[in-house]
């Protein structure tokens, strides 16, 4: 709490009462280990001795949040400071929420079972738009007012960061601070500011004013949004002096010097990614036009191989994991990937430690590297062609051909793989039925390949629905409406017949809401609150998603979701996120949109010429080719 009105004795009494109550209710909930804490490498500090206290709130369940590398990094960044602590909390499942409410218990941190209301800062990571009602639910369970304007001097500061922070406007009225970009350095500056304010005193508004002066920090309540009669945004302006008109993202220039979690918390439960995670680099220069991450995380910055080998060694020593996952946007683009894989296998392969990769490029090099790290077990191998025709792959700048994919599959089968996963999107700009039929045709060609040795037992085709994202060349595009998306998904499904073929697809209603949240403005905030009050939460989980309640919320508030999801935005219209700067220029995005519509591809700027996106000069980072360090 910013003015420290609650003393350690009161906190201890509350902790004891909470612990007694949890002993009664935890046996009644599914997977109680989600809510107990006490895991290996957990950091527990004495609150009475620490000036600044923060809880990292992941707005999804434990198994998802404990798989997030960014949270692990920030946990170590804060807890290595002697003057600050960070604890964890995750969205409760419906059974635990019911028990908390029935027993009058607050949402609490795992490390010390402290109510969230007792922290100075609550930090939400915004990874997925469908978690927004979870944020409101967690605040309410903690007894914290939902709207930033209604919070008292003693309430925690509600902070948010992550990829969705590049358009936080739909939930901006619920947030005190938004961090744009990479958080390691800027979070430390925020903690310094809070510590100093607690020592010398000052109002909440004065603290927020000072925070707005920190590069990369956005204070939504200091900006006024004006609208045209058409419903479009007319302007987003600071409402006082000293507030930047545009907030530029923060970026780390040297990842070798960045804090890396070499002692991450090891979960009690099986989680989504229960393995050691090694971050090779940040950024991606491939330029896929649908990909927000490829734009907002630019430029590419690599770690040295020696740094990575040492970090892998420490991770395995401190966790006991038997697998290292090479986690970056396109891990095989690491300039010394062969050298790194060989070093990891040489050092850890005899110990039975596996090295794993995410989905692979559809080329021979990818298969060769995969062969090295799958010596023992040949599980399924994943490729992401994204579109069913070369024309549409050129539109989205996915620089892979059908020949690349078929050649890679043949080599993979001959190397021992039997099962394949192919990822595609439905509803991409300029898509036709021929492109959709091309998905099925490409899948059949893969399934019917006759290699010199080996055979294919299963080809699983996954088709997701295209969602236009801010700060991408497709940010002006409208999403295909739900009924048409359903028709297109069924068209693909009807063609995927065969004993070796399987089709999985995403629901169109969730994709519609994701598009609304992705491209929305502050007028969406009352809709989110209304949906939550009607009972919406855990919207990313199909068994709990209630589209009928969302439809009622839009109707009750008087907002048309199609205005945000399905409308093509004129290029001269002010976008709700134009005041938030990822470093990539709007002129570049517009030029990429035009190239997309003409079917022209843009080369990978880390291998060929600079594409002129503007991020390197904007962030004062030297333009480098892949593998260059100076």
CATH number for position 442: 3.30.750.200
Which pLDDT does position 304 carry in this prediction?
95
**Of the residues 476, 506, 536, the one at which a domain ends:** 506
The CB density around residue 349, as the number of other CB atoms within 10 Å, is 16
Answer whether 166's CB lies under 8 Å from 191's CB: no
Does the N-terminal peptide bond of residue 282 adopt cis geometry, omega within 30 degrees of 0? no
Residues of the chain with pLDDT under 50: 1, 3-7, 376-377
Residue 359 lies in a domain: no
Note whether residue 64 is domain-resident: yes
Domain of 36 in residue numbering reads as 8-246
DSSP state of 621: -
Note whether 589 and 387 are within 8 A (CB).
no
510-513: list long-range contacts, CB under 8 Å, 24+ apart. 510/130, 510/539, 510/540, 510/542, 510/545, 510/547, 511/464, 511/465, 511/467, 511/479, 511/482, 511/485, 512/479, 512/482, 512/561, 512/565, 513/129, 513/130, 513/539, 513/547, 513/550, 513/561
Residue 91 located in a structural domain: yes
Give me the CATH number covering residue 75.
3.40.50.2300
162 within domain boundaries:
yes
Distance CA 266, CA 51 (A): 27
Q: Within 10 A of 185 (CB to CB), how many other CB atoms are there?
A: 18
Question: What are the start-end ranges of the H helices in 51-93?
Answer: 62-65, 69-79
Strand 276-278 to strand 323-326: parallel, antiparallel, or no bridges (unpaired)?
A: parallel
Residue 620 makes CB contacts below 8 A (sequence gap 6+) with none
The pLDDT assigned to 417 comes to 87
- Taking each helix axis from N to C end, the angle separating 547-557 and 525-534, rounded to the nearest 10 degrees, works out to 130
CB 110 within 8 Å of CB 87: yes
Q: How many residues does the chain have?
A: 630
| Rounded Cα distance, 250 and 200, in Å | 28
Same domain, 240 and 384: no
609 C-beta neighbours (distance < 10 Å), count: 10
Last residue of a domain, one of 473, 506, 539: 506
> Does residue 349 fall inside a structural domain?
no
In a domain, 65, yes or no: yes
Across-strand partners of 248? Answer: 581
Residue 333 lies in a domain: no
102 vs 328: CA distance, rounded Å: 43
Q: Of 506, 538, 573, which one is at a domain's C-terminal end?
A: 506
Burial of 160 (0-12, 13-18, 19+ CB in 10 A): buried
Return the structure tokens found at 483.
């009924």
Residue 630 is predicted with a pLDDT of: 55
Integer Cα distance of 460 and 498 in angstroms: 11
pLDDT of residue 363: 75
pLDDT at 588: 96
pLDDT of the residue at 430: 97
Q: What is the pTM of this model?
A: 0.94
- Residue 300: which region, alpha, beta or left (left: phi > 0; alpha: psi -120 to 50)? beta
d(CA 76, CA 263): 8
The count of structural domains within the chain is 2
The answer to whether residue 269 is domain-embedded is: no
Contacts of 551 (CB under 8 A, 6+ apart): none
């Amino acid at each position: 709490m910013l003015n420290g009105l609650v003393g350690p004795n009161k906190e201890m009494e509350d902790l004891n009462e909470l612990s007694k109550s949890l002993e009664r209710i935890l046996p009644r909930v599914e997977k109680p280990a989600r809510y107990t804490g006490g895991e290996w490498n957990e950091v527990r500090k004495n609150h009475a001795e620490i000036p600044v206290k923060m809880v990292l709130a992941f707005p999804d369940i434990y198994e998802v949040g404990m798989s997030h590398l960014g949270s692990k990094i920030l946990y170590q960044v804060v807890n290595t400071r002697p003057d600050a602590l960070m604890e964890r909390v995750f969205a409760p499942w419906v059974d635990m929420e019911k028990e908390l409410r029935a027993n009058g218990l607050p949402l609490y941190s795992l490390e010390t079972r402290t109510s969230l209301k007792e922290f100075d800062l609550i930090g939400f990571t915004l990874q997925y738009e469908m978690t927004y009602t979870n944020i409101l639910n967690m605040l309410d369970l903690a007894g914290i007012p939902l709207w930033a304007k209604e919070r008292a001097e003693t309430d925690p500061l509600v902070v948010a960061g992550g990829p969705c922070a590049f358009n936080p406007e739909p939930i901006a009225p619920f947030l005190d601070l938004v961090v744009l970009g990479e958080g390691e350095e800027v979070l430390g500056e925020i903690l310094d500011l809070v510590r100093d304010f607690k020592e010398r005193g000052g109002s909440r508004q004065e603290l927020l004013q000072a925070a707005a002066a920190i590069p990369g920090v956005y204070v939504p309540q200091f900006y006024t949004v004006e609208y045209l009669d058409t419903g479009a945004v007319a302007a987003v302006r600071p409402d006082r002096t000293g507030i930047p008109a545009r907030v530029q993202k923060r970026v780390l220039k040297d990842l070798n010097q960045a804090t890396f979690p070499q002692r991450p918390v090891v979960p009690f439960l099986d989680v989504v990614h229960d393995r050691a995670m090694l971050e090779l680099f940040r950024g991606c220069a491939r330029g896929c036009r649908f990909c927000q991450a490829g734009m907002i995380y630019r430029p590419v910055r690599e770690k040295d191989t020696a740094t990575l080998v040492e970090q892998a060694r420490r991770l395995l020593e401190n966790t006991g994991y038997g697998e290292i996952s090479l986690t970056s946007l396109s891990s095989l683009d690491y300039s010394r990937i062969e050298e790194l894989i060989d070093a990891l296998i040489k050092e850890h392969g005899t110990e039975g430690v596996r090295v794993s990769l995410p989905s692979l490029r559809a080329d021979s090099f990818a298969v060769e590297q995969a062969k090295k790290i799958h010596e023992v077990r040949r599980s399924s191998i994943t490729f992401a062609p994204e579109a069913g025709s070369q024309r549409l792959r050129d539109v989205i700048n996915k620089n892979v051909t059908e020949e690349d994919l078929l050649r890679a599959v043949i080599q993979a089968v001959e190397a021992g793989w039997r099962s394949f996963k192919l990822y595609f999107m439905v509803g991409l700009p300029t898509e036709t039925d021929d492109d959709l039929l091309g998905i099925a045709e490409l899948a059949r060609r893969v399934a019917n390949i006759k290699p010199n040795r080996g055979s294919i037992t299963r080809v699983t085709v996954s088709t997701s629905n295209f969602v236009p994202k801010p700060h991408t060349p497709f940010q002006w595009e409208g999403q295909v409406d739900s009924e048409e998306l359903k028709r297109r998904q069924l068209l693909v499904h009807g063609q995927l017949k065969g004993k070796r073929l399987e089709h999985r697809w995403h629901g169109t209603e969730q994709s519609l809401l994701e598009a609304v949240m992705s491209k929305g403005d502050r007028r969406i905030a009352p809709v989110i609150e209304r949906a939550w009050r009607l009972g919406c939460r855990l919207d990313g989980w199909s068994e709990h998603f209630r589209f009928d309640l969302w439809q009622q919320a839009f109707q009750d508030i008087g907002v048309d979701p199609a205005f945000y999801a399905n409308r093509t935005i004129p290029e001269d219209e002010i976008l709700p996120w134009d005041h938030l700067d990822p470093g990539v220029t709007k002129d570049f995005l517009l030029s990429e949109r035009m190239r997309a519509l003409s079917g022209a591809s843009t080369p990978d700027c880390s291998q060929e010429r600079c594409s002129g996106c503007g991020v390197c000069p904007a962030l004062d980072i030297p333009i480098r080719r892949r593998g260059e360090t100076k």
